[in-house]
Structure 1
Amino acid sequence: MKIRFKNKKWYLNIIDWKVGILSLLIIFLIFNTLYSFDYGSWIWDGDLSPWQKTIGICVSLSAILGVLSVVLFAVHKNLAYVLGIVNAILFSLFAFSFGLAIEGFTNFFIYIPIMILMWYKTTRIKNNKKQFESFRSNTYSTIFFIFLTFILTIAFYYINPNLNKVAIQIFGKDKVYEYGSNFKYFEIASIINSLITALSIVALTMMVLGFRESWTIWIIKNVFSFIFFGGIGFLNITTLLINVTYMCISIYLYLVTTNKQKLRIAFSNKINFENTLKFLKAKEFYLSLSQQSALNNFDFKTENKILKSLLKEIKKSQFEDNVIFDNYLLDHILALKKYQLSSFIKKIKRDYLVFKYKISLALQNKLNYIFIYTESNNFEAYKNKKNWKKFTKKVVFLSTNKEKSLNEIKNIIKVELNKKTTSNFEKIFKRLFA
């Protein structure tokens, strides 16, 4: 049964609360920094040792910085790296103290290097919005990340005890628990602890690369963290509260990032209708008009240079809201497959380019539409759905009549632009209360 309200616009105000909710979370975490739920006292009161006070402050401050860095990663801001690095350092101290040496070493020697490396890598594409490039998950990346999680979990299961011994030697027995001595259920806790670390590395890698699916991995990781710190490993109320906070933020940001729909359209070959260009410019589209064209004869270096240039242009277009491509990269990939090559070496080189740039293109944002002119060199190739289903949602074969084709393009674009005006939150609440 659906609940009906007289004023159906009430839910729109909920969207304006997100800044307030984030502020409340930050205030709660600041309070958590000053008051220890585990020891039941303010940080300056009680019989806490200086080391316990330091650890309490570190884990709470890391939570505050972690929340801010996660939010900034969601909107692709470079400041996220700075906050993320400081967060990793502070949480490491907490991890070492509670016998979770692998968490500490992972933060120092994996998280921080990953963030520094990705900071450099993802800022190579310069843009005036100070954002970094992102990727779309596909079959290849999904298989890779699942395999990576499995391998890392097994590796950490055996590495954890030995790393903990190193932490004891560095910090001393009075400051670090012996591995597993504080676990309620040793075997299952060890497995979950290893899985949490593996999921954290995979989620972080996906997040800094810009994979939207990273929020799903963070949610799964937070569930296992809740189980571990809820008593399977040991009970730590502060960490439990922090993981609940992270879980809420991950779910929220998943909804936010899925709402950031960008209209991306391509034309097979060059846009040859002047009226089409005028219409697109009037709608303030970013026009990526390629000057490259397929070669008559296969030359590996030249083809690679053309494909690399087209891929770079696609990556740059990520920072624009509405984008139109002509002479799209997929057209060049399909054209490559048409070459009749007698040399075995040339066939290998051609197939390598096709495979390489198919993978690269599949990691970019999927197109909404590709419009196919009847005179397109790849008209027949686009009739086979296998050639385009990984790269675009729909293919539209245009009429030979210019006026009819232009009207079809206009209608499709107007419909898609109207879809963008409705957020995920509005859609959810409309379904519930419409």
Structure 2
Amino acid sequence: MTRLSVEMLAADTVQPITSAGHAQLGIAVLAGIAVIVFLITKFKLHAFLALTIGSLVLGAVAGAPLDKAIVSFTTGLGSTVAGVGVLIALGAILGKLLADSGGADQIVDTILAKAGGRAMPWAMVLIASVIGLPLFFEVGIVLLIPVVLMVARRGNYSLMRIGIPALAGLSVMHGLIPPHPGPLVAIDAVKANLGVTLALGIVVAIPTVIIAGPLFSKVAARWVDVQAPDRMIPERASESLERRPGFGATLATVLLPVVLMLAKALVDIVIDDPANMTQRVFDVVGSPLIALLAAVIVGFFTLGRPAGFTKGRLQQTVEKGLMPIAGILLIVGAGGGFKQTLIDCGVGQMILDISKDWSIPALLLAWLIAVAIRLATGSATVATVSAAGLVAPLAADMSTTHTALLVLAIGAGSLFFSHVNDAGFWLVKEYFGLSVGQTVKTWSVMET
């Protein structure tokens, strides 16, 4: 078993903070989600406050001691901000650097020149799929958002027409294609063949991303006709700049984290020995934090220097890049806190207990378990690890092909209908400037 899957399994095996029965837990989940949606839609309460109150309501209805419910929420908030917050911050700095130096203009102008009109959604899904292969979803988002928003604004496209294909490309990679961490964990758990799973994953991913991306974006754009939010769009680089970075240098800077993380994933597959020095080196340089940090530092030279930035100007760019993301960090962190409260109350274990008595085909069972845990906890990782562990015994008598399909069924179920208990839901909502209802009609439906 890879170290990644061991860490995830360890994180998933928690002692419930309540002894509530399944019916009470089910009511608690519905009550917590209902309170969050009601406070946001009816009273226009800030999502951070609504998620905090909803988490406490969930714990109270589930019969958890208030002090333990608070600990669960703050632990989830802290771990989410620690894991995702730094990535969002680094991504914001890189995005601001791209914008101020003219690098983002260079990428956007090139994309608009090469793929205008009807081809643009297809170009965005291709770009997102390439970038999203080795990246965690949150990292892909922070790398793509500046380009998505600027393409939508400059090309006068509906934000959904451009944004949905990009999100679809990232999500499909996240759920179906190794060497992404999620599919790798499931492959390891059910002892599937990596090559066969990769081949079948690509076969499944192509029609999936076409339907969920460019095709569904036409419908999403009619349902939610919004423009890119002004507060999140990087300003066009000053016309006073003598020159801007070349397309090649800019693209290389953006793709640097992708290359580093993909290299780490491939080394983990080939070597898979925690004591090996090569793997330890790549574990460091290919971690999301180091990969994005390296891109920011490299960007100072490949983007800032050609634009004539002084040290003071670089410092100013970093400060301005960090300013707009404070609210996003708190909302995403609170989403993680709500998810952790769900898990600590035993909702994930409840789904596993109930599913043991289901007498249905193995592939459908794996998918349903992953869907149920995803809906209940909001975590694709918890859904993947839990479902893979539960159905692993069924894979013993399966053929190589069916074992690979079992992995894909789990991956597909783990992405099903992201909603208010998923930090990714709030990330998309805030970046795209949507309401809760608009996010459900676009992002949630696209995930489904």
Q: Does TM, normalized by the shorter one, top 0.5? A: no
Q: Which has the higher helix share?
A: 2
Question: RCO greater where, 1 or 2, for CA within 8 Å and sep 6 or more?
Answer: 2
Q: Which has the higher strand share?
A: 1
TM-score by length of 1: 0.30
TM-score by length of 2: 0.29
